[in-house]
């Protein structure tokens, strides 16, 4: 399978300051490898032939590091945000998008997701947008009480756990979705998803049960460095 991708790498990474004062977040190291190296290697592993990297904050450093993409066997080009456009605003201005479905991925995601399976699921669903999703368990730190209208206690749950289906920051889009993104204006993925739902256009969820971390928070960034040696063989990069 051959496919194209857009890598979103224009954010300021404010939650990882002060590190992101001197390096853009996608170039922060995971076990001495920039996050973006792992992302691009994963795309190339599964057959990506061409990718556009949307850059903003310290984008020149990303361009210097990635160059033409030869080291990954990719053809790379760049979209330079002059003003912040949110997580999908850039897509309305990228001229090199393919006519068929393409992958969009955040530049700070660490996962062993199969892009081939993601694209196959998208094709089978006939959706216009497929969101790669992950089941995450969150534990409350306090006891949770339930009561009725007269304030009588009806239940007590000690530090209950809740399961949520969360977005992995990896998507497949049909070209038809772009007409919902206003050119030159900022737009985030939740707004695009809601616009599709409001219009009655199909959105599909592809659930991944392997490994995934969003490296936007300091604790997840530290966890990725601690776990990388163990999960590296599963990534195949």
- Residue numbers of the domain that contains 108: 3-135+165-235
63 within a domain of the structure (yes/no): yes
In a domain, 156, yes or no: no
Q: How many domains does the chain have?
A: 1
Residue 174 placed within a domain: yes
Q: Is residue 157 part of a domain?
A: no
Residue 79 token pair: 């979209």
Instruction: Tell me, yes or no, whether 147 lies in a domain.
Output: no
What CATH code is carried by the domain that includes residue 111? 3.90.550.10
Question: What local confidence, expressed as pLDDT, does residue 97 receive?
Answer: 93
Q: Is residue 229 part of a domain?
A: yes
The residue assigned the tokens 């669903």 is 125
Q: Which of 56, 110, 111, 88 is nearest to 191 (CA)?
A: 88
Residue 131 lies in a domain: yes
Calpha distance 74→92 (Å, rounded): 23
Q: How far apart are CA 178 and CA 64, in angstroms?
A: 29
Extract the residue ranges of the chain whose pLDDT is less than 70: 12-21
Question: Residues 6 or more apart from 205 whose CB is under 8 A from it?
Answer: 130, 131, 133, 165
Residue 187 near residue 89, CB atoms below 8 Å: yes
Q: Is residue 11 part of a domain?
A: yes
pLDDT confidence of residue 82: 84
What confidence score (pLDDT) does residue 17 get? Answer: 64
pLDDT at 83 (0 to 100): 85
Question: Which are the contacts of 153, defined by CB distance < 8 A and separation ≥ 6?
Answer: 145, 146, 147
């Amino acid at each position: 399978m051959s496919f194209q991708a857009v890598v979103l790498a224009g954010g300021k990474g404010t939650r990882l300051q002060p590190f992101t004062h001197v390096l853009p977040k996608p170039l922060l190291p995971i076990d001495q490898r920039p996050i973006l190296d792992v992302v691009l290697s994963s795309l190339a592993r599964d057959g990506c032939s061409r990718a556009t990297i949307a850059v903003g904050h310290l984008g020149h450093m990303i361009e210097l590091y990635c160059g033409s993409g030869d080291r990954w066997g990719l053809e790379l080009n760049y979209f330079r945000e002059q003003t912040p456009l949110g997580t999908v605003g850039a897509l309305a201005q990228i001229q090199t998008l393919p006519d068929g479905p393409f992958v969009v991925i955040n530049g700070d995601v660490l996962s062993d997701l199969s892009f081939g399976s993601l694209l196959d699921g998208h094709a089978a669903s006939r959706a216009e947008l497929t969101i790669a999703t992950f089941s995450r368990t969150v534990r409350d730190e306090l006891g949770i009480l339930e009561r009725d209208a007269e304030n009588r206690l009806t239940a007590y749950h000690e530090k209950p756990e809740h399961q949520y289906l969360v977005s992995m920051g990896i998507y497949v889009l049909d070209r038809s979705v772009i007409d919902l993104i206003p050119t030159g204006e900022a737009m985030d993925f939740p707004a695009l998803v809601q616009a599709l739902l409001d219009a009655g256009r199909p959105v599909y969820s592809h659930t991944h049960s392997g490994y995934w971390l969003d490296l936007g928070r300091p604790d997840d960034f530290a966890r990725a460095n601690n776990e990388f040696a163990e999960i590296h063989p599963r990534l195949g990069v």
